[in-house]
Amino acid sequence: MVRSWMLAATGVLGATAVLAQDAPQEYAVGQKEYLTACAACHGEEADGNGEIAVMFKEPVPDLTGIAMRNDGVFPLLDVIHAIDGRAMIRGHGNPMPVFGNRFRADADGGNALFGAEAISRGRVLELALYIQSIQK
């Protein structure tokens, strides 16, 4: 009996350890979006080694090195534009969706256009802030 209780406790501790690797709470929404929409290419650790990264002729960028590649400054607005599609990143627009449009379409069920726009911008911002939080 004691043994099975100990095993159960170990299981709980194991689960806690996994949770400890999660992003701090203020970035949890962005991390969830990231794992759903971006990790396949950019990798779960955002290091550019996603499962389908090999399909691209050009390397998929390491998103944890954006600030390092930009003299230590994280270009928040450029990253927002890269995600929402205004920067027209080839890897995102063809064959990949432009995320701003996709998020607007997701939000459009019954919302006024402004509501969908606001929801889409919120999701893009959460993603950009999450990426900012994981810079090396």
The rounded distance, in Å, linking the Cα atoms of 21 and 58 is 30
Q: Is 27 in the site for ligand HEC (CB under 6 A)?
A: no
CB of 28 to ligand HEC, least distance (A): 15
Nearest of 56, 130, 47 to residue 95 by alpha carbon: 56
Q: Is 56 in the site for ligand HEC (CB under 6 A)?
A: yes
Q: Are 127 and 38 in contact (CB under 8 A)?
A: yes
The rounded distance, in Å, linking the Cα atoms of 127 and 117 is 15
Task: Round the CA-based radius of gyration of the chain to a whole number and report it.
Answer: 18
State which amino acid sits at residue 78: D
Nearer to ligand HEC, 39 or 118 (CB): 39
| Footprint of ligand HEC on 63-92 (CB under 6 A) | 63, 66, 79, 82-83, 89-92
The rounded distance, in Å, linking the Cα atoms of 54 and 83 is 20
Q: Is 125 in the site for ligand HEC (CB under 6 A)?
A: no
Q: Is 104 in the site for ligand HEC (CB under 6 A)?
A: no
Using the rule CB under 6 A, give the single segment among 1-9, 18-26, 33-41, 113-121 that binds ligand HEC: 33-41
State which amino acid sits at residue 108: D
Q: Are 131 and 79 in contact (CB under 8 A)?
A: yes
Using the rule CB under 6 A, give the single segment among 10-18, 21-29, 60-68, 112-120 that binds ligand HEC: 60-68
Which residues lie near ligand HEC (CB under 6 A)?
A: 37-38, 40-42, 56, 58, 60-61, 63, 66, 79, 82-83, 89-92, 96, 99, 127
